[in-house]
Amino acid sequence: MDISVLLVLIVVLVAGFIAMQYNAIIAKFNAVERAWASVLTQERQKNKIIPQVEALVEQYRLHESDVLTKVTELRSALSAMDASAGIDTAQLAAAEQQMQSLMQGLKVAVEAYPELKASDVYLKLMAEVSEQQEHIGAALRIFNANVEDFNNVIEMFPSSIVNNMLLRKEKIQTFTDSEAQAGFEYKPNF
């Protein structure tokens, strides 16, 4: 084998190795960017869903309060009717009108809200909030794993040489929560 062929082969191998390391760094960096975009997407989804659910719960709470008020008014109107005072058709008509209004409201409530229990709606709201937080937590774990992979690639030999010569990518910080960290007495020394 001729020495020039051997030198060309070595140059091609070194160039191929450098290209592989270069591409690995780019791929890991892109994975970090994608993971962060996923975190932002989850947060955006939560920010869009939660106000809608809160508005529904508030509307439901007001409706349930209105129904309870109407039932109380009807009960008061019926209690005010005194059988010994004779027949008062005006009172009876007013009570009947309140009853019809209440029944119409209850029909709408049953159609719109099959179970008239605000506590269930609040429980569903809390479940939705919790689910959204779990999705964000999962996205953050994926982001931190991708950051770790990227940081490993740019700091470990031989990729670190390629990074320092060609790309000069900086180490990315993982996501941390200072509030969560405050809950621990132990602090690792790194």
Q: What is the tens place of the pLDDT at every residue in 136-182? A: 888 888 888 888 888 888 888 888 888 888 889 888 887 777 766 66
pLDDT at 175: 77
Q: Are 24 and 142 in contact (CB under 8 A)?
A: no
187 domain-assigned: no
Closest to 46 in 3D by CA, of 137, 120, 181:
137
Q: Is residue 190 part of a domain?
A: no
- Model confidence over 25-54: pLDDT tens digits? 888 888 888 888 877 777 777 777 777 777
**Positions of E strands within the chain:** none
Mean per-residue pLDDT over the chain, rounded:
76
Structurally, the chain folds into a number of domains equal to 1
- Please tell me whether the overall predicted TM-score, pTM, comes out greater than 0.95 for this model: no
Domain that holds residue 74: 12-173
Question: Does a structural domain hold residue 81?
Answer: yes
How far apart (Å, rounded) are the C-alpha atoms in residues 140 and 156? 24
Q: What are phi and psi of 75, to 5 degrees?
A: -60, -40
Is residue 47 assigned to a domain?
Answer: yes
Would 156 be classed as within a structural domain?
A: yes
pLDDT band, residue 16 (cuts 50/70/90): very high
Asked whether residue 180 is assigned to any structural domain, the reply reads no
CATH number at residue 132: 1.20.1440.20
- What is the mean pLDDT of the segment spanning 66-95? 64
Instruction: Tell me, yes or no, whether 141 lies in a domain.
Output: yes
How far apart CA 142 and CA 130 sit, in angstroms, is 19
18 found inside a domain: yes
